[in-house]
Structure 1
C-alpha cells in the first residue's frame, strides 16, 4: 500500500491483504492501483489543520518503521463498525 501524506511524501506499507482490504474487495487479477485503507487513530492536530495519525495500535508501519503521519482531514474516512 502507498500513502501520500499532507506534505507530499510517499510512504509504503507491506502487509497481508486483510490489513488493507475488506472482505473480497480485491481479487487476484484485479486492475491496479486499487484503493486501500489502514486503520489509524488521530493523535493530534497541528496549527495548519493537518492531523497527525498513528497506525501503531494495529501494528501497521511503513517500510522504515514509521507509525505517525501528517494527513489532511479529507484523507480520512469515519470508522464504520459492522
Structure 2
C-alpha cells in the first residue's frame, strides 16, 4: 500500500469459510518476517497471519471450520474485526 512509514504498509486479503473476502492492513514484517514484502516484490505473495483459536486451546479434531482471532499481533480489519471463521485447511499448525 505504501513504503512510508518504513518498513512499509501492506494489505493482506483472505477468504473466510463462508466465502467472504477480508482485508488486513499492517506493516510488512507482521505478515512476512523474512522480508518477502517490499517495493520490488512480485505481488501477490503468499503470507501468513498469526492467529489463535478463539475460545479454545487447540483445533477441534472433527470440525471443518474453526473460529480464530488475529489478536496475537494486534492485526484487525480496517473496521476493527479480529475474529473470523475459516476452514481448518487454511491453518498451519
Are 2:72 and 1:61 aligned? no
Q: Aligned with 1:14: secondary structure?
A: strand
Structure 1 residue runs of 4 or more that deviate by more than 4 Å after TM superposition? none
Which residues of 2 match residues 2-81 of structure 1 at below 5 A? 2-43=13-54, 49-78=64-93
Question: How many angstroms does 1:34 deviate by?
Answer: 0.6
* Long gaps (5+) in structure 2: 1-11
CA root-mean-square deviation: 1.7
Aligned residue pair count: 77
Q: TM-score when scaled to structure 1?
A: 0.82
Q: What TM-score does the superposition give when structure 2 sets the normalisation length?
A: 0.73
Between structure 1 and structure 2, the one with the greater Rg is 2
Which is bigger in relative contact order (C-alpha 8 A, separation at least 6)?
Answer: 1
CA distance in 2, matches of 1:49, 1:75: 10
